[in-house]
Amino acid sequence: MDGWTVRHDRAATVAYYQTVAQGDADVCGCPLCRNFALQRSAAFPAEFLGLLERLGIDANKEQEAFDWGPVGDGLRQYGGWFCFVGDFAKSYAEPAGPHFTSPFSFGFTDSFPRHGGVPRKDVVAVEFITQLPWLLPDESLDAALR
């Protein structure tokens, strides 16, 4: 990964995910989250899924997902985090955070919502931004936002 140095403990991360029952979008259950959960398998490019696998992250168990709102073409922008046991450093300076202009981007951060059973120490997160259509079959987006 360009510019990133990531140290991680895959076994510890796998062990953590075994303690997590389901992703935050499933726990929340609001329409915006259910729209995300419905499309998890399409939300991430193959390279990103490969990265999650290498880190020991269960791609169905995001720490949190949130809706950024409409971005045109009937798409909505979603962001979120997957935590893992490890640490990271960035080898060159760049504006912090994901790039919001591309359909998908990711980075690493130590700033993420630490609710649930996240270990207190030595945990950081992969942060992602992605774009998804509205696919919930029986609910309109307007109703979801009321």
The footprint of Zn ion (CB under 5 A) covers 28, 30, 33
- Please report, for the chain, how many H helices and E strands are present, in that order: 6, 5
Residue labelled with tokens 């991680």: 8
Q: What residues form DSSP beta bridges with 112?
A: none
In the complex with Zn ion, the residue whose CB is nearer, 78 or 106, is 78
Q: Which of residues 11 and 30 has its CB atom nearest to Zn ion in the complex?
A: 30
Name the minimum Å distance from CB 32 to Zn ion.
Answer: 5
- Of 51 and 65, the one with the shorter C-beta distance to Zn ion is 65
Q: Where are the alpha helices (DSSP H) in the chain?
A: 10-18, 24-28, 31-38, 40-43, 46-55, 141-145
In the complex, the smallest distance separating the C-beta of residue 79 from Zn ion, rounded to whole angstroms, is 13
- Residue with Cβ nearer Zn ion (27 or 59): 27
> What residues contact 132, with CB distance under 8 A and at least 6 apart?
35, 36, 39, 42, 43, 75, 76, 78
Residues 54, 126: Cα–Cα separation, whole Å: 12
- Give the nearest distance from C-beta 29 to Zn ion in angstroms: 7
| Min CB(14)–Zn ion separation in Å | 26
